[in-house]
């Protein structure tokens, strides 16, 4: 069965620090990959997505993620975090066929100290 693992459940950083959140998935076929963010009191928003092509994808607010097929990974990065990046970050996958359901990681709570 498909599954998604996020390695860091709670991360606390100071402003301007670099961020990398790990995400690994298990699925043998072709997948679509997503990072969603949930800011305090807000709904889930798409941060970035990978369907095909360049494995390095750029999203909103300076975030990027790299798909490494051989490692089944889709890690999220940001060179310099801001206090406003404080949020919950979720990695999710679905397969690239007709199955649209998203399989989710547990989420990573990021706190950024000013």
Contact residues for other proteins, defined by CB under 8 A: 4, 32, 34, 36, 42-46, 49, 51, 90, 92, 94, 96, 99-107
Residue whose CB is less far from other proteins, 55 or 79: 55
Which of the 8 DSSP states describes residue 70?
A: G
* φ/ψ bin of 54: left (φ > 0), alpha (ψ from -120 to 50), beta (otherwise): beta
- How many other CB atoms sit within 10 Å of the CB of residue 12? 11
From the CB of 16, what's the least distance to other proteins, in Å? 30
Burial class (CB in 10 A: 0-12, 13-18, 19+), 53: exposed
From the CB of 49, what's the least distance to other proteins, in Å? 6
From the CB of 44, what's the least distance to other proteins, in Å? 4
Residue whose CB is less far from other proteins, 48 or 81: 48
Q: Are 49 and 109 in contact (CB under 8 A)?
A: no
From the CB of 25, what's the least distance to other proteins, in Å? 13
Q: Are 93 and 32 in contact (CB under 8 A)?
A: yes
Residue whose CB is less far from other proteins, 57 or 81: 57
């Amino acid at each position: 069965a498909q599954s998604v693992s996020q390695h860091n459940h709670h991360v606390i950083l100071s402003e301007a620090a670099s961020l990398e959140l790990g995400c690994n998935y298990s699925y043998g076929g072709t997948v679509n990959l997503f990072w969603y963010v949930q800011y305090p009191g807000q709904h889930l928003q798409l941060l970035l997505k990978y369907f095909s092509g360049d494995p390095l994808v750029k999203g909103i607010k300076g975030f990027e993620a790299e798909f490494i097929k051989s490692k089944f990974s889709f890690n999220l990065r940001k060179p310099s975090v801001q206090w406003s990046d404080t949020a919950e970050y979720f990695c999710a996958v679905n397969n690239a066929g007709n199955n649209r359901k998203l399989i989710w990681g547990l989420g990573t709570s990021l706190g950024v100290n000013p």
